[in-house]
Chain A
Amino acid sequence: MPMPTIYNVGAIASGTGAVTPGLPLGTLADDILLLLIENQDASGIGTVTGYTVITNAFVSSGTLTRLTALYKRATSSESAPSIPDPGDHAVARIIGIRGCINTGSPVNASAPNTQLVSDTSVSIPGVTTTAANCMIIAAFSTGTDVASTTHVSGFANASLANVTERIDNWVIAGGGGGIGACTGEKATAGATGATTATIVTANFKALITIALQGATGGRAIKRRRVQGLILR
């Protein structure tokens, strides 16, 4: 059961109306498209065609922010999704994961949280996986109204291998807000522990951890001998 890999991250999209985040370059059929959306409206994101909501978390006081995670199994003719206008603004980006379990939902575990303390320390509670070789996505959002691609730093989790920052996008569209996300590898089943980071501007946070399960072993190959030919 190999570990899934991050093959690419699509272009950020943000605005005060409907937005269309870019598809990760090189998307192939069966790749998992993990869509992360930040908005600040009490009502959630409307339907994103073809995508299934995994989880969402909403900070309902102070500087509002909602983080929603959805996924889609890519087809051979995939196109960028349109995120319907949620009201104030939306920030959206897609992480492309390859090598997840190839049928059904790739989600092994997920957990949303909110941190209602305005500070610069981020601690994204983890999950407990039940399968080997899970790709962990730890993401958070704040409603900070700033244009920055360096708002978060220092993603860390001692329980995960190859912790890598994947998203760091804050915008000033509407009331403003942004997403920070990293990935890490959990080779053995068990608790992932919390993922930590630091942000520039203190604020409340919406927090999500998702574990995507790796594909099971190789395909079985059947052979039939017909008149000396070997058919596969």
Chain B
Amino acid sequence: MPLSITNIIQSDSGFFVGILGNATLPAATTAGNTVILVISQSNNIVTPVGFVADKTSTFVAPVSGIYRKSNVGAESSWAIAPSSSALVSWTVLEIEGLDPDNPVDTITAGAMSTGTGATLSSGTTPVSATYDGLMLAFHACLDTTTATPGTWSGHTNGFTEVEYVGGTDTGRSLGLSTSLNYSLSLGAFSTTATKTATVGQNSTANVIVYTATGAKRAANVVACTGFEFGTTAGLATGNLGSGIFDAITGTPSVINTDARNGTYCLELAASAAAENCLWQTNGALSAASSTGQRPFRASFKFPSSLPSGNTVLFSLEPTTAVDSVVVRYVSASQKIGLKQGTGTEILSDSTVSANEWISVDLRTDGRTTAHKCDWRVTYTQNGNPIDQTQATATGVVNVGGWAVRIGWTASTTATVRYDDIVVSDQGGHYPLGNYIIQSIVADPSGVLTIPGATTDFQTFTANGTLVAWNATTARNAIDELPVVVGASADGFAQVATSASNYVEIPMTTIDAASNGASIRAVRMLACGWAAATTAATLGFRANDGTGEMTIRSAIDVNFDNTTTPAWVCSMVKGTSRQDWTQAKLDALVFRVGFSTDASPAVGINAIYGEVAMRVGDLIEILFVDGGFYTHFRQDPDSAGIISIIFTTPVGTRGATCSWTNSGTPNSIYVPANTVHEELIGATDIAQMTAVGMEPDPV
């Protein structure tokens, strides 16, 4: 149930002068609910006992704060104790349905908004990450020239005032307005209100976004692969955190005969040996926030037959090794077992079969010593996920994140294939769900461009023969997949120092909607080359049509011209979360260059993107007797409509089908015995506003 005014169980506001007062509610709170306390004072604000300060302003009067107490039961009064006598206005709300563990979605950067004008903005939050948010704002005005407290009105951007309180003392006054708004979409939120207080007197304002419990969150994929790079050359070669993987054990293969999606998958095949691929917390996962939670998804397959013995499939490993999450095949039961730390291994509810792509979604949570792991299993490629019993254990509070290891470290005889691996660092992103990962390459019809001197770059063939720049030659040299290394290697390289010059590479694109999916993330993979093993710097950037993002600053990339080339791999994002759209992927270009030495010549053999897409859920929306259906292919996180599927039955009756997309009404006649899919590609719940179906008369 989305957050709304009905989640505000009760609220009240008040005013006092002095060093002690109480914020009160008419009735005792209910356990599990959240108490939000908004305080504005003439001076000397102190965090009330038992509360967390979500945002405070302590320097410019009226000093103010937004405070929170989660999971509050049977309380109705809270002390407010300024450090010295002050005018104090307060508003308290009991709110049902906020996330009890991580209720704050986003707050404004820097100090609260202050001013003396007739209007004041709350400030603007960064783009939120929750798809079910409650925005709380306040405006407070302190007037030292009148005993009439100012009021606030005209709250913009859909905010509605829910509480106002004003008070006065010895010719001064303080007015506090609290307003709320709700949203099922991502956004940057702000509200401006107009005061009646004297212009020239100080005001303070702010806004916070809170998230509902269980709310879907915007994707923040920190690592992914579908093995679409198609090679094991240099699989773990490169600077720590830049390689395809940070480390490998054994001889993993990347094969093209059995992919779950795309062309390639990983095969680990060992006989009494260890074999695995690793992403480390100080490597590929160093950008992941150490929230203590880690949603993860992997798909795997036992080709031909089930393993004869127990086989560890993958593990999530914190700093304290015994607290690892281990997922394995258990031969005695032919089930999947998941063990959190030193706790009891939980077996899946059903057995698994050979020759099926099986997917496991899990979220491990080590934020407290009570570790837990929620998980689900999808037993066939297009099956429905089945929730499993939660695994628990006592462990060390995780502050360093979770490494991800695909495969096993012990002596094992098994053959397992893997595909579509996804790692997120947002607890609310669980379950990650059905992902497909496909590749993009340098667009064979695109034109490579250089903004500066083209003499800064050359193309190479035969692993070392450098010739003058030619855009077509360069493009054709870097678009092969898998990459060609060794004696026949070709590509382009920077040969003259220029920290600002680069080669811009247009990439191919993928129509997510036609795949029934939404774009979640893109990982860049660049296979490096250098004329010698001497250190040389190279940088990587991207542009999605809305702005440039630095993927890797120009540093020594450890490139060479061997058959184990170093790679530079990184998620394509700037300093903040990247919310992908079809338009951004269509516009995506990579920029390679920015070398501060270019000696030896340093460049790339090839460059790819792995595009991680979340397959939408198929949901029946409309039905009319006789076999007329309308289905949505819907993004399970944003609720955006990926496509609409109209189905008419065998016979003589078709249907007139209608929908409204971005405010534009559309209509189509679907004849009898037809399935018509209309691609929408919406990334937001708000884009589609209506759908209908009227069958022909009988």
Chain A residues in contact with chain B, CB under 8 A? 42, 44, 52-58, 60-63, 105, 107-117, 125, 127-130, 143, 145-146, 175-176, 207
Contacts and interface: CB of A to CB of B under 8 A. Distances in A.
Contacts of A110: 624-625, 695
Contacts of A125: 658, 692, 694
A113 B692 contact: yes
Given A58-B619, A108-B698, A125-B692, 16 more contacts: A52-B625, A57-B621, A58-B620, A60-B621, A61-B184, A61-B685, A62-B639, A110-B695, A111-B624, A112-B692, A113-B693, A114-B692, A115-B689, A116-B690, A127-B694, A130-B697
A44 B620 contact: yes
A186 B623 CA distance: 24
B385 interface: no
Given A105-B698, A107-B625, A112-B624, A63 B2 contact: yes
Interface of B: 1-2, 4, 6, 184, 619-625, 630, 632, 634, 639, 658, 685, 688-695, 697-698
A55 B619 contact: no
B534 to A, nearest CB: 57
B622 A109 contact: no
A54 B626 CA distance: 9
A146 B4 CA distance: 12
Given A44-B620, A55-B622, A110-B625, A62 B694 contact: no
Contacts of B632: 60
A54 B622 contact: no
Contacts of B639: 60-62
B621 to A, nearest CB: 5
A53 B625 contact: yes
Nearest to A70: B625
B625 A114 contact: no
A105 B184 CA distance: 41
29 contacts: A42-B619, A44-B620, A54-B625, A55-B622, A55-B624, A56-B623, A57-B622, A58-B622, A60-B619, A60-B621, A60-B634, A61-B634, A62-B184, A62-B639, A63-B2, A105-B698, A109-B694, A111-B624, A111-B694, A114-B621, A114-B622, A115-B689, A116-B690, A116-B691, A125-B658, A125-B692, A125-B694, A128-B697, A129-B697
A11 B6 CA distance: 27
A143 B620 CA distance: 18
Nearest to B622: A112
**10 A-B pairs with the lowest CB-CB distances in the bound complex, closest first:** A113-B692, A61-B639, A111-B694, A112-B622, A130-B697, A55-B624, A60-B619, A117-B689, A116-B689, A56-B623
Q: Specify which of B6, B619, B697 lies most central, judged by the most chain A CB atoms within 10 Å of its CB.
A: B697
B2 A62 contact: yes
Contacts of A115: 689-690
A52 B184 CA distance: 36
A162 B95 CA distance: 44
A125 B657 CA distance: 12
A55 B695 CA distance: 11
Contacts of A129: 697
Question: Is chain B's binding surface mostly helix, strand, loop or mixed?
Answer: strand
Contacts of B184: 61-62
A63 B1 contact: yes
A113 B691 contact: yes
Given A61-B639, A113-B691, A116-B688, A56 B622 contact: yes
Contacts of A57: 621-622
Contacts of A58: 619-622
A110 B698 CA distance: 10
A207 B622 CA distance: 10
A103 B698 CA distance: 14
Contacts of B634: 60-61
Contacts of A128: 694, 697
A175 B1 contact: yes
A72 to B, nearest CB: 13
A55 B655 CA distance: 14
Contact of A114 (B2, B623, B624, B690): B690
A140 B624 CA distance: 15
A52 B626 CA distance: 11
A129 to B, nearest CB: 8
A157 to B, nearest CB: 16
A143 B694 CA distance: 24
A53 B624 CA distance: 8
B179 to A, nearest CB: 17
Nearest to B697: A130
B600 to A, nearest CB: 56
A87 to B, nearest CB: 14
A115 to B, nearest CB: 5
B697 A116 contact: no
A146 B692 CA distance: 27
A61 to B, nearest CB: 4
Nearest to A123: B690
Contact of A54 (B2, B621, B624): B624
A56 B689 CA distance: 18
Contacts of B658: 113, 125
B9 to A, nearest CB: 13
Nearest to B632: A60
A105 B622 CA distance: 20
A112 B697 CA distance: 14
A110 B688 CA distance: 22
Contacts of B620: 44, 58
B434 to A, nearest CB: 16
B1 A113 contact: no
A117 B689 CA distance: 6
A115 B665 CA distance: 12
Nearest to B624: A55
A171 B644 CA distance: 31
A113 B622 contact: yes
B213 to A, nearest CB: 14
Q: Specify which of B639, B658, B693 lies most central, judged by the most chain A CB atoms within 10 Å of its CB.
A: B693
Nearest to A57: B622
Nearest to B7: A145
A63 B692 CA distance: 19
B159 to A, nearest CB: 15
A139 B693 CA distance: 15
Nearest to A172: B6
Q: Specify which of A52, A111, A125 lies most central, judged by the most chain B CB atoms within 10 Å of its CB.
A: A111
Contacts of B623: 44, 53, 55-56, 112
B692 to A, nearest CB: 4
Nearest to A111: B694
B403 to A, nearest CB: 36
A82 B691 CA distance: 30
A129 B184 CA distance: 38
A125 B694 CA distance: 10
Given A60-B632, A107-B625, A114 B685 contact: no
Contacts of A113: 622, 658, 690-693
A60 B624 CA distance: 17
A108 B619 contact: no
A59 to B, nearest CB: 8
Contact of B697 (A61, A62, A108, A207): A108
Contacts of A176: 1
A108 B694 CA distance: 12
Nearest to B182: A118
Contact of B685 (A42, A52, A62): A62
A54 B688 CA distance: 25
A6 B175 CA distance: 57
